[in-house]
Chains A and B, each alone.
Chain A
Amino acid sequence: MSSLAMGEVGRAAAQLEGEEKLSGSAQYIADLVRPGLLHGAILQSPHAHARIRGYDVSAARALPGVRAIVTGDDLDASHRMGAFIKDEPAFAKGKVRYVGEIVAAVAADTEAIARAATRLIRVDYDVLPAVLDPESALAPDAPLVHEDAAAYAKVFDAGTSANACSRTDFRTGDIASAWARCDVVVEARYTTQAQAHLSLEPCGALAEIDAAGRITLWSANQSVFRVQACVCESLGLPMTKVRCLTPRVGAGFGNKMEAHVQPAVVLLALKARRAVKLILSREEDFETVRARHPFSIRIKTGAKADGTLVAREMELLLDGGAYGDDSPGVLGYALLMQPGPYRIPHVHGHGRVAYTNKLRFGAFRGFGVPQVTFASETQLDEIAARLAMDPIAVRRKNMLAPGDPWFGGQPIASNGLAECVDTVARESGWEEALAATSTGAAEAHEADPAPAGQRRRRGRGVALSAHISGLLASGAIVRVLEDCSVLLNTGAVDIGQGSNTVLTQICAEALKVPIERVAIASPDTDGSPYNWGTTASRVTYVAGRSVVGAAAEVERKLKEHAGEMLECAPDDLELLPGGKVAIKGVEQRAVTFADISGRAHWAAGGPIIGTHSWVFDQKTFDPKRTAALGLPFSQIGIFSFSALVVEVEVDEATGKVRVLGAWAACDIGRAINPRMATGQIEGAFVQGMGYALFEEMVWDGGRLANPSLMDYKIPTIAELPETLRAYLIESDEPSGPFGAKSVGELGINGVAAAIANAIASATGLRLRRLPMTGERVLRGLLDAGEGRS
């Protein structure tokens, strides 16, 4: 790895926003106030599918304190937004497509008045038959969620028709003839549920119009640039008219990447000609924002008798909900990642996204990989069991070795997977535990066929997974100011994970200055370089590389000045720690950044500014190797790897599963900030544990039945396993900033699979549906017991 002058990279620096967050003075969207601020509220659809015949807003308008009301009549039907398919209006226009969809919004002197006014709006609906699951949505003659989805503008070949939102098909090798060469073939169907992101901060936005008619928009977001694009597309505004900023963000797991209430709030502000703030209630946030896709999965895997994997086929059907949002990306990415980090010569993945009359499903940490990994990594354990192999042994036999490409053909430059597996096997005591269970538990099963309900059983499970860091454009601007302090501007929104700190560490290290000398600008579409967003585990890697590039340009300019000042060639100069440029090997012949900056401002060249911008440009698929149809991303990113072992205890009386221990190792290239990196892995594990065991959005017809924290439970500190260890494996990614890859999502991918494998190891029960609630585990145990007797 590259040597480090400052020791900023690799240091567990405290988060830069610590003081404000720990004193309670940090400002999130709900904390912002502007002069003359009005408060907004939304009216939601009571129907899953209905045509809107008209609105009567007279009673609402008559309520004192009401300043503006917007309905679909204020929207132009030709203006639609969408990351992949331009299918979504700012809010309901012409018809409603799910219960909870925004139908109208009110701005008033107080939130209470705004909420009261929404209840006075009368909407005349013509109720239509709804499609509530993807299978019925794709049936012939199903009611259409979008009358002519095929005609919508799209950014890739989605194959859209009727309620089929998109389809993707990837093929490597010769799957048809491969099965005959397998000694064992396992095929099964799996079902996964909708998960709520549940960032503690509900979504909201504040829009203000200046005297020139320009709009400033603050919102809970993961990308000021995506907010700008969505608002402008859905309202038909020129992008130059909308400036997007960000307050502190109370976490985002994909839910705040695309638009939520921003278009409605901008429209209210334009109509009221006043600043308007609208914060969703927790229930509204559940019902109107977005959630993790439910997947139906058919998976078939074939292996040789020695455990060598030969073939994998996966077929997916995703419930996309009412709008495309990130669904085509989730489908394509899930299919790209579904073989897992293994050498499988024959792979066929295909799938579809269906429009339904439900809340839109979109990006959520893992982006489809937790779903397919639940299926693929549990199926791998079934193969191991059929072949009487240790689950880790079968994985070691097949896992990608350094130098192996991903199945589509993309080369992989850094691969620390073997060290991840070795680490979790060693730290969890896998071999010892295996030895104990193979004698102890097997005998116990034999000796004790007694009815369930008497005891608790323990088991361990493993899962490997991979993720990418990458995707789309990112820039950085580094300025050396007149006093030689450094301002970094990347446009990347820190959603709480600590990217401001990490990018500042990278900048400080690259310029060899202490971190205190670098400040980071808040993202601003007027002044920041483009950054697609805080998503796809991309900020450390993609924005980090831009920071290194911009700092390199600063270094080049500093050396040009210094060369003239010291009368030598720039190539003979080097940066010294602390903000100096010196003749190589002659430390005393140096000029400071302040000397250079003063010269640049007053005498020559102008301020020292370095910029860099790039797009990940390596092809995901080698067309000679893999055929791809409906590929949403052709250049996706570099690969990170993870291994996870969990230990669970299953209560046979209640079916309740408790996770006792978890050991997660992630190959992240290099840890820029080790404490923040382990924080990502720990947070992802616990979020994945909720997904595996109890989190589930449940619909009663078209209505979400549990849109509250009373009825939708997430893990508390009481569910935290006694042992939760995160290990950082550093494989030194040559293209990464100081060797780094990103870590935001990797840690959630294998959690449900590892827990399912542990439950199977403890009880013999194979659950193929998430979440694995106590009720489902108990039912499974009872059914198995009846089957035996």
Chain B
Amino acid sequence: MSASIAAAGSPASFVELDVNGQAVAVRASLSTTLLTALRDELHLTAAKRGCNQGVCGACTIRIDGVPMRACLSLAHGCVGSRVATLEGLAADPRMQALQRAFAETGGFQCGFCTPGMLVAAHALLEREADPDEDAIRGALSGNLCRCTGYVKIVAAVLAAASASKGSP
């Protein structure tokens, strides 16, 4: 075992994280990214590995409310922070409004970028309940989509904001 651990990098230990409101013990070495911990150890696979370099945004999750790249965050660096994935945001009415709007406007095709897109859009709507198109473009410019051409994603976020009006 020791040789295989050496091959894989630094030794793994258990780290306690707050993921989607629950305290969980995750096996992670010092170099294990949050994305690997979420996907491989906790089987929370909504966050996707599109580039593992922080560019594509498919792994977008929230750390203490801020949308972040799970592939650029180390699991050990998230101790004491609140980590939220799409799975954990599912009960939030604003996320549900986004999901409905994406379904109704066709704001996704293959769906691979969608969890990251939803988490980024969710953070935007929390910050700014009634964003205009420029604000949406700004907030989602770090999330790549190769299928939709983005038109229906913009429409979906506008529709979700409009549907959420009046809700807290």
Interface residues of A (CB under 8 A from B): 12, 14-15, 17-28, 30-31, 33, 63-65, 108-110, 112-113, 116-117, 197-202, 248-251, 253, 279, 281-282, 495-498, 675-676, 679, 682-687, 708-710, 714-718, 720, 724
Contact = CB atoms under 8 A, between A and B. Distances in A.
Contacts of A709: 50-51, 53, 55-56, 144
A22 B48 contact: no
B153 interface: yes
A251 B111 CA distance: 8
A17 B111 contact: yes
A201 B48 contact: yes
B149 A684 contact: yes
25 contacts: A17-B111, A18-B102, A24-B114, A25-B46, A63-B3, A109-B4, A113-B7, A199-B112, A199-B146, A200-B112, A201-B110, A202-B50, A251-B109, A251-B110, A282-B52, A497-B109, A497-B147, A676-B106, A682-B150, A683-B146, A684-B149, A709-B56, A714-B146, A720-B137, A720-B154
A65 B7 CA distance: 10
B106 A21 contact: no
Q: Pick from B9, B43, B109, B145 the residue with the most CB of A within 10 Å.
A: B109
A249 B152 CA distance: 20
Interface of B: 1, 3-4, 7-9, 39, 43, 45-53, 55-56, 58, 85-87, 90, 99, 102-106, 108-115, 118, 136-138, 140-154
B48 to A, nearest CB: 7
B19 to A, nearest CB: 14
A113 B99 contact: no
A31 B58 CA distance: 14
B85 to A, nearest CB: 7
B99 to A, nearest CB: 4
Nearest to A684: B149
Contacts of B108: 15, 18, 21-22
A15 B52 contact: no
Contacts of A684: 149
B144 A200 contact: yes
**What are the 8 tightest A-B residue pairs by CB atom distance, in nearest-first order?**
A24-B46, A496-B110, A21-B111, A250-B112, A112-B8, A682-B149, A116-B7, A686-B149
Nearest to A23: B90
A22 B102 contact: yes
Given A717-B150, A720-B151, A24 B86 contact: yes
Contact of B48 (A30, A110, A679, A715): A30
A282 B150 contact: no
Contacts of B85: 24
A110 B103 CA distance: 37
Given A15-B103, A64-B4, A282-B53, A496 B48 contact: no
Contacts of A202: 49-50
A85 to B, nearest CB: 29
Contacts of B151: 682, 720, 724
Contacts of A714: 144, 146
Contact of A22 (B4, B114, B152): B114
A200 B50 contact: yes
Contacts of A112: 7-9
Nearest to B50: A200
B139 to A, nearest CB: 9
B1 A64 contact: yes
| Chain A contact surface mostly | loop
Contact of A251 (B7, B56, B147, B154): B147
B141 A716 contact: yes
A23 B99 contact: yes
B109 A498 contact: yes
A507 to B, nearest CB: 21
A282 B85 CA distance: 22
Contacts of B90: 23
B112 A201 contact: yes
B55 A710 contact: yes
B7 A687 contact: no
Given A496-B111, A716-B144, A200 B152 contact: no
Given A112-B9, A248-B111, A682-B149, A201 B50 contact: yes
A750 to B, nearest CB: 15
Contact of A253 (B8, B45, B146): B146
Contact of B141 (A116, A117, A675, A718): A718
B58 A24 contact: no
Nearest to B46: A24
Given A14-B106, A200-B110, A675-B106, 9 more contacts: A23-B86, A113-B8, A199-B110, A248-B111, A282-B51, A708-B51, A714-B146, A716-B143, A724-B149
Q: Pick from B8, B9, B85, B104 the residue with the most CB of A within 10 Å.
A: B8
B7 A496 contact: no
A28 B45 CA distance: 9
A18 B99 CA distance: 9
A717 B140 contact: yes
A30 B153 CA distance: 25
A456 to B, nearest CB: 19
A82 B137 CA distance: 42
A248 to B, nearest CB: 7
A115 to B, nearest CB: 8
A720 B104 CA distance: 21
Contact of B146 (A14, A116, A251): A251
